[in-house]
Structure 1
Amino acid sequence: MMIDTHLHTNLSDGLETPETVVSLAAEAGIRLISVTDHDRVRAYPGVIGLGEARGVKVIPGVEMTTMDEPGFTCMHIVGLGIDICPEAISVLDKVVRAQDASNMGYLDNVNDFLARKHPGWKPVTSIYPSVFMNALENARSMGLKVSEKEMMDVILNKDLWTPVELELTVDEAVGYIKKWGGVPVLAHPFDFSNDAGLVLKRFLAAGGEAVEVCKYRYKVRSGALSGLTADQLINQEREMNLWTIEQARKHNLKLTMASDHHDESRTMGMDPTEYGIDVQWLFEL
C-alpha cells in the first residue's frame, strides 16, 4: 500500500492538473493522497470527487508558508483534514495576494541579479508556477549550466527579497489549521538547508501534531543534498527519515509520508511498510 499526503497541482506551483495528479496516483496504486497546494485550496471540493471516481481517498489539505524566524528560512506546514470553510478560503486568499505583490518586485530583482551574473540573460516574465522554476528553466533554455542548488542560492538571497505585507507566524499557521479542524504537519523538516532540530523544536512549541517522512531524493537544492550521487541521496534520505521517525516517537507526533510531487520528475507515493510506520490515522480523517 502506498500513500502520499503532499502533492501539488497547477493551481499553485505544480505543473499538472488535479485530474492528472489523481490519475497518476490511481495508476501507481496509491490508495490515499492529499493535494496540498501552496496557501491555496482551489482544487477542492472537485478533487475529492475525482479521487472517488478512481478509488483514491483524497484528504482535504493545504501547505502553508510561514515567515522567516531566527535560525531558519521559513517553515512549510501542511494541514491535513481541514474544512474548506469560508474563513480558510478568505485567509489563504489574503496570504496569496500579499505573496504575489511581493513576488512581482522580487522577480525584477532576480532578473537584474542574473543579468549581471550572466550577460544576455533573458528576463523571466512570470511568477507562476514559481520564480525558482521559471528562472531554472530559463537558464537551461539558454544553455547555462546552473544547478538547482545554485539557483536556490539566488532565490534565497535576502538582498533580492521585497517586503510581504501579510505573512503568517508558525503559531498562526498551526492555529488556523487546528481551527479549521485539521492536523498540522511539519513538511520536509530538512528542506531549505534548515537545522531540522531547530525547526522541529519551533513546530512543537506552536502545538504541531505530525511530521512527514519525505522523498528527499528530490531536494537536491538543499545544501545537505546537493552534489550527492543517486545512491548517496537514497542513503541520506533514509538517515533523515529515520531521524524524523525517532523524533516523532519521542515527542508523540503522528507520521505521514510524502513525495512533494510537482511534476513527472518527482514520482509520487511512499510505502509505510518501508519504515514500519502506522498511518491508519490518515484513513480516519
Structure 2
Amino acid sequence: MSRVDLHAHTTISDGTLTPRELVELAVEKGLVALGITDHDTTDGVPEALRAGQELGLWVVPGVELNTDTEDGHLDILGYFIDISNKELQATLSEIRNARYYRAKRMVEKLRELGRPISFERVLELSTEGAVGRPHVAQALLEAGYVSSISEAFELYIGRHGPAYADRYRMSPEEACALVRRAGGVPSLAHPTPASDPFSDPKDLNRLLPILRDAGLGALECYYPGYTSDVSAWLLSLAERFDLIPTGGSDFHGAAKPDIDLGMVEVPLEYVERLRAATSKQ
C-alpha cells in the first residue's frame, strides 16, 4: 500500500465519500499525503484540510479540469493551488454552471428516448457539488433502465450515445495557464490508457512539449493498471521534458469499487518536488 495518493475524488464531485471521510480513510490506510482533486471544484478542500490538520495527514489542495482537443479530451490536475484565487474560482463557477445545464439537457434527451429520470434526483446524487454524467448514470441505474453505471455510458450518455450533451470547452493549454496563475502545478492525468498503454493514442512525444510550453509541470506516471514497464516509460518522458512525476488511484469510492485508495505506489519525494515547484513561481 502506498503512502501517497495524489488523485482522489469526494462527494463534492463524483466520489462517494465526503472530504472528511476520505481523509479518515487515508489515515486508516497509513497514507501520509493525499491530493483532493475533485472535478471542476475546490469546494471540498477546506473540509479536507481541516480534517488533515486534525488527524495528521498532509492534504494537497487540488482540482481536476476536463479539457478538449481536436482529437478528444485531456484531464489536467492542478496541485498546491491557491483555492482563494478569484480567477480560478470564477472559471470553476462558470464550468459548474455549464455542468448543470449539460446534465439537464441529457435528462431531456433521455425523456425523449423514453427513459425518463428526475433531474431533481440527479442533483441530489451530486450532493449539490459538481453535477456530471456519473450522477445521470446513477439515476438511470436506480430507475432500472440499465444494470450498471458502465452500461449507462455505453447505451446512453457516452460520447457517441443518443443522450450525450456537449460540455464546457477549455483547452489543455488554457487549463495549464489557469492552474499556474492560481499558484499551482499542472499535471497531465492518466496520459495513456491502461488497457493498451503503448498504443500512445495521445502521441506524448508530440503533446508533452506543447503542454510544457503552456505551463505543464508534471505527468501522472503511476495509475491503476499501469505496469512497471508503463511507469518506467512515462518516467523517462517526464525526465526528458522536465516534468515532475505524479500518481494516484483516481479513487471515487463505491462509484469505482475496483479502485482502492492508495493502491498505486507513489514516492513521497514527488509531493515534496511539487510543493517546491510552487515556491519557485
Structure-1-length-normalised TM-score = 0.77
Q: In structure 2, what residue type is equivalent to 1:196? A: K
- Cα gap change, 1:238 to 1:151, in 2 (>3 Å): farther
Alignment of 1:107-256 (within 5 A): 107-110=107-110, 112-113=112-113, 115=114, 121=115, 123=117, 125=119, 126=122, 128-129=125-126, 130-132=132-134, 134-135=136-137, 138-139=140-141, 142=144, 144-145=146-147, 148=150, 151-152=153-154, 154-157=157-160, 160-164=163-167, 166-191=168-193, 195-198=201-204, 200=208, 202-217=210-225, 237-256=227-246
Distance 1:86 1:70, change over 3 A: closer
**Cα offset, 1:102, TM superposition:** 2.1
Question: RMSD of the TM alignment (CA)?
Answer: 3.1
Paired residues of 1:75 and 1:170 also in contact (CA < 8 A): yes
Letter in 2 for 1:69: T
Instruction: Report the 3-state secondary structure (helix = DSSP H, G, I; strand = E; otherwise coil) of the residue aligned with 2:49.
Output: helix
**5+ residue gaps in structure 1?**
116-120, 218-235
**Number of the residue aligned with 2:25:** 24
Q: 2: distance between equivalents of 1:37 and 1:139?
A: 23
The correspondence of residues 14-53 of structure 1 with structure 2, limited to 5 A, is: 14-53=15-54
Q: Deviations over 1:7-58 (max 9, x none)?
A: 1111111111011000000000110011111110111323212101111101
Counterpart contact for 1:7–1:35, Cα < 8 Å: yes
Structure 2 residue aligned with 1:281: 273
Change (3 A) 1:260 1:163: closer
**Is residue 271 from structure 1 mapped to residue 265 from structure 2 by the alignment?**
yes
The alpha-carbon distance between structure 1 residues 134 and 160, as it changes in their structure 2 partners (threshold 3 A), is: closer
Residue 70 of structure 1 aligns with which residue? 70
Give, in whole Å, the separation in 2 of the partners of 1:144 and 1:155.
13
| 1:190–1:240 CA contact under 8 A, matched in 2 | no
The answer to whether the 8 Å contact 1:136/1:148 transfers is no
Deviation at 1:242, TM superposition (A): 3.0
Aligned length: 256
The letter of the residue matching 1:197 is D
What displacement does 1:63 show?
Answer: 0.7
Q: Tell me, what secondary structure is at the counterpart of 1:77?
A: strand
Which has the higher mean CA deviation after the structures are superposed, 207-216 or 236-245? Answer: 236-245
Q: TM-score, normalised by structure 2?
A: 0.78
Q: Which amino acid aligns with 1:263?
A: G
> Which residue identity is paired with 2:273?
W
SS at match of 1:157: coil
What SS does the aligned partner of 1:30 have? coil
Distance 1:133 1:109 in 2: 15
Structure-2 residue corresponding to 1:83: 82
Change (3 A) 1:143 1:98: closer
- Cα distance between partner residues in 2 of 1:209 and 1:268: 24
Q: Percent identity?
A: 25
- Cα deviation, residue 96, structure 1: 0.9
Structure 1 residue 213, shift from structure 2 partner:
2.7
Change (3 A) 1:196 1:277: farther
Map of 1:223 onto structure 2: none
- Give unpaired runs (5+ residues) of structure 2: 127-131
